[in-house]
A and B are shown apart, each in its own frame.
Chain A
Amino acid sequence: MKDKIRDILSRLGKLPVAVDSLADDSDLYTAGLSSFASVQLMLGLEDGFDIEFPDNLLNRRSFASIDAIAATVEQIIATRKVA
């Protein structure tokens, strides 16, 4: 999953640094993730994982690091399975 997230991040995150140079727990906002790029990233994740972010997860914390994104995506997938 994290490889796929890294792929989406490198295409849509518009980061000034290479995604390969970031650790899974690196702060993406410190690395240069802008608000508008995080919107593109969210749409890319929805497309890539066939999910829809609920309103309560549309916040900065959900996209703060690769670990945080993975946890958010897993949470959405798990909720979907229950439903």
Chain B
Amino acid sequence: MDMQVSFLDRLFDAGLLIDTGVDGLYGRSGEFEDVIAAFERLIDRTGGGDGAEAIRFPPGMNRHYFEKSGYMKSFPQLAGTIHSFCGCELDHVSLLKTMDEGGDWTTGQEATDIVLTPAACYPLYPTIARRGAVKDEGQLYDLQSYCFRHEPSKDPARQQLFRMREYVFMGQESDVMAFRQKWMERGPEMMRSVGLPVEIDVANDPFFGRAGKLLVNSQRDQNLKFELLIPITSVEKPTACMSFNYHQDQFGLKWGLQFKSGAPVHTACVGFGLERIALALFHTHGLDVTIWPDDVRKVLWG
């Protein structure tokens, strides 16, 4: 924890991250953003030739789709819902009175139709399902969104609002597995090209509760999730900066994503944690980008 706090303090002192008073919610400096933009260009150069359709969703999604996704079954502790004041003038008077008295004014807030996006690809599946049958040769998408997870922490690598860049492929099982394998080779190459030490390991999502243990073990047994790990605030527990997820035909069945034949598609997604990658670069090469190694600067900025 001390290493996490001290790295966070150094990032604040250098002005790279800006304290908002809430753990895990930070402003970013222009320099920090420039590193993320440069790394995204590296992602574009690596994956840009694959013919993905680019789609950008805002960081909120349709509550109905969120409910259908089953996110609350697995990760209720991480979800963020958007609530608003929907009362009349009288309710407003009472709201202001409660605020003045320091009471809990939020109890009267009502759920809106929007939920904060938990992962960049969540809004994609219902969107593509609405378009009709998926091509037999598969379809590839390029996404990026701010995502929300309610897990306040002093670890700068565990933020509550952060950006995730993703490639999502939907298609036949063998093509989906080949897609994931290709990125499990490309990911480490990309990280090594910018001087980051990496390892890849089997992983699991943070499923909630005791029943979640069964889901964790099941996910690991089937090698459904791998992560690319880079030391940021700990060498023993390096941070996941990319993940490679195979969903089998789970989303195909859930969302009615089908081929013309009616068979469900298989899906996989590859995600980049953009802030984590930037933090790994700052941690490894120093907080001043002008003194980063020339070969790293060349890959990022040409």
- Total chain B interface residues with beta-carbon distance under 8 A: 13
Expressed in whole angstroms, the minimum distance between the Cβ of B222 and any Cβ of chain A is 7
Expressed in whole angstroms, the minimum distance between the Cβ of B99 and any Cβ of chain A is 42
- Contact bitstring A8-43, B, C-beta under 8 A = 1, else 0: 000000000000000000000000001110110011
Measured between alpha carbons, how far is A42 from B211 in the docked complex, in Å? 8
Expressed in whole angstroms, the minimum distance between the Cβ of A57 and any Cβ of chain B is 9
B217→A58 contact, CB < 8 A: yes
A36→B73 contact, CB < 8 A: yes
B218→A43 contact, CB < 8 A: no
Residues in chain A near residue B215, CB distance under 8 A: 35-36, 39
- Total chain A interface residues with beta-carbon distance under 8 A: 13
Expressed in whole angstroms, the minimum distance between the Cβ of A32 and any Cβ of chain B is 10
Residues in chain A near residue B214, CB distance under 8 A: 35, 38-39, 42, 53, 58-59
Of residues 23 to 41 in B, which have CB atoms within 8 Å of A's CB atoms?
A: none
With CB as the reference atom, state the residue of chain B lying closest to A38.
B214
Of residues 47 to 83 in A, which have CB atoms within 8 Å of B's CB atoms?
A: 53, 55, 58-61
A35→B218 contact, CB < 8 A: yes
With CB as the reference atom, state the residue of chain B lying closest to A41.
B214
A60→B211 contact, CB < 8 A: no
Known: A38-B218, A60-B221, A60-B222. A43 touches B211 (CB 8 A): yes
Of residues 210 to 243 in B, which have CB atoms within 8 Å of A's CB atoms?
A: 210-211, 213-215, 217-219, 221-222
